[in-house]
Amino acid sequence: MDKLPPLTALKVFEAVARTGSLTAAARELSVTHSAVSHQVRRLEYDLGITLLGRRGRGVAPTAAGERLARGLGDGFREISRAVAAVRPGGQGREITVSCLGTFLLHWLIPRIYLFKAAWPGVQLKLVEDVGPLDAPAVPYDVAIRVGRPPWPRGIDVTVLERETVGPVLSRDLADSLAIRSFADLGDAPLVHTRTRPTAWADWAAAAGAAPPEGGSVTWFDHYYFLLEGVRGGLGLGVAPEQLIRGELARGNIVAPFGFVPSGNDYVMAAAEDAGDPAVLAFKSWLLGEFRGGEPSA
């Protein structure tokens, strides 16, 4: 192996290149501005090349500096992962979990305490994201989506559960409407969401029923608003069983016609080479919750 420059100098240069500032790098590394400048000059001398140039009031890496900074960033991330692998519970590791807002609110957040109890050292950053798996709005370690194949290449996709959907309503509204057959939907108040505008028609086709017209119709922009409308007795809405399983068990919400497959799957995704112990721990926990965890939402 070729003799490497001092690790301290490499670490300092990576911080400068990433932040674009000697001052910001010094603050991040808890050293002085002059110490940062000295380490960068030493690295340039050892390599015999210029790594940084001026850009406005800051600095920017040269072409050679950019190549080195990319490699160092990847290397330091691998070192961090290796350290996390031998630390009990992956202490200090933060992973980003990207998912749909409704799933985040109604399924994941009510269960997070279970993961934290098992892996207290893993910090979770939960973000709402509806983008494609291969073009996330924010970089993620694990993504949770609802959809159907084909899935993008280069991403490890695991099916968590087949989505099932059906008309649901509050217990109080169910008692007042006495819905017992598809025909009883004719005068019932219905709620829709613009994120799944064909939900009622799709459910009717799968259930072998005529699409109901409803006595009154209310539209919401998002699924979680629709679920709140259902809870509040505003009307019947087509909802995934997975998001209301706990309330069904408690009897707060009822599903007079049961549920049918929607053709979509709940899936989790990560890069195919993701071997981070914290990521693997979260994926294993998530799969276990879907396949055997008690409903808590």
Q: Three-state DSSP class for 141?
A: coil
294 has a pLDDT exceeding 90: no
Q: How confident is the model at residue 20 (pLDDT cuts 50, 70, 90)?
A: confident
The answer to whether residues 279 and 172 touch, using CB atoms and an 8 Å cutoff, is no
Show the tokens assigned to 87.
């630390």
Measure CA of the first residue to CA of the last residue in the chain; give whole Å.
Answer: 55
Cβ atoms of 161 and 118 closer than 8 Å: no
pLDDT > 90 fraction of the chain, expressed in percent and rounded: 35
Domains and CATH numbers, the chain: 7-86 (1.10.10.10), 93-161+265-292 (3.40.190.10), 163-263 (3.40.190.10)
- How far is Cα 68 from Cα 23, in angstroms, rounded to an integer? 20
Position 162 scores a pLDDT of 93
Report the C-alpha gap between 226 and 228 in whole angstroms.
5
The chain-wide mean pLDDT, for the chain, equals 85
Output the pLDDT for position 144.
94
Calculate mean pLDDT across residues 155-176.
92
Instruction: Give the lowest-confidence range in 212-216, 260-264, 275-279, 293-297.
Output: 293-297
Residue 227 confidence (pLDDT) = 92
Q: How many residues does the chain have?
A: 297
Per-residue confidence band for 293, with pLDDT thresholds at 50, 70 and 90: very low
Q: What is d(CA 188, CA 192) in angstroms, rounded to the nearest whole number?
A: 13
For residue 87, pLDDT beyond 70: no
- pLDDT reading at 208 higher than 70: yes
What is the residue type of 105?
L
The mean pLDDT value for 243-247 works out to: 88
Q: Looking at the predicted structure, is the pLDDT value of residue 35 above 70?
A: yes
- Mapped onto helix, strand or coil, the DSSP state of residue 92 is coil
Residue 296 has pLDDT above 60, yes or no: no
pLDDT at residue 280 above 90?
Answer: no
CB of 284 closer than 8 Å to CB of 117: no
Indicate whether this model's pTM tops 0.85: no
Q: What is the pLDDT of residue 143?
A: 93
Closest CA relative to residue 158, chosen from 177, 169, 172, 144? 144
Residue 261 has pLDDT above 60, yes or no: yes
Q: What is the pLDDT of residue 91?
A: 52
How remote is the C-alpha of 133 from its chain's centroid?
Answer: 10
